Amino acid sequence: MKIRTLGQSGLDVSAIGLGCMGMSWAYGPSDRDACLKLLRDAVDLGVTFFDTAEVYGPYVNEELVGEALKAVRNQVVIATKFGFAMGQQPGSLTGVNSRPDHIREVVDASLKRLRTDHIDLLYQHRVDPDVPIEDVAGMVGDLIQAGKVRHFGLSEASAATIRKAHAVQPVAAVQSEYSLWTRDPETQILPTLEELGIGFVPYSPLGRGFLTGTLKDAALDPGDYRNTSPRFTGDAKAQNTRAVDALTDLAKAKGVTPAQLALAWLLAQKPWIVPIPGTRHLDRLKENIASANVTLSATDLSEIEAVIAETGFAGARYTEAGMAMLNR
């Protein structure tokens, strides 16, 4: 496995990480024992970067990751997140909460679930408009001084928010959705990160599975949140399917899978970008990891851009409520 460094943080991770959310949340029921095994297999295959959050489940995903990785804790980098407010009903969310006292409580609880004495990378999951980002950064800085956290990260934060936070506590990495069908970060976020020396971690780098070309005719589990995603329904799905079909043809011509083409494209954008595709299946894990060895030429990259320019993708990436939570 190739290694990349997240910006100037000194945090070295595998070029392909593993997003663990789908093992416990959002995509319908899963087999816990199978997911435990997959996490251990990932380590054996060279993955060192694992992404989770308290809200995934909630809580159970951190427990899963903690149990799976406890025997190899010093060999891996674990990222988790704070920032949501939990309701009284199991699994319910009532909004965001990044009050400093809440951050401290969440971190202590996450450490227990992860079975560790430190969190390698702690992200603010969503920006809280009621708490100055400087206060958030200061609290995480205190946790770093206490040894409970090693690096500070932000998720779905605007360029202005990133700058304010970084001035108080250096930001090691920013996480946002970025892929062939989500190009938003290119305008302001990537230039800001390059200027400040901050790493970038694209989540949903395979478009929640759509860019693999395997979901266009698939029946999703009733509990799968993609059933309500604007990009997976109606005319948008039809247009997106045409785009993926064209990209699939390019992948075949190069001798790679559509997933490998999408991940290799991300890796080709900047040397400090580390995507974290998720999966529950060993064959998909191996396929994703192999993308780190795929080299795209300038011609390949131009052909990909031409396909997207001609066909394009349609639909918002979240519902209106989800989009409203993004800091833009």
Catalytic residue among 27, 56, 59, 203: 56
φ, ψ at 240 (rounded to 5°): -65, -35
| Residue 202 three-state SS | strand
- Whether residue 58 has a cis bond before it, omega within 30° of 0: yes
| Residue 171 three-state SS | strand
Contact by Cβ (8 Å): 220, 226: yes
Contacts of 318 (CB under 8 A, 6+ apart): 229, 230, 325, 326
**Pairing assessment for the beta strands 121-124 and 77-82 based on DSSP bridges:** parallel
Q: How far is 273 from 266, CA to CA, in rounded Å?
A: 7
The yes-or-no answer on residue 56 being catalytic is yes
Q: Could you tell me which residues are beta bridge partners of residue 12?
A: 5
Report the catalytic residues: 56
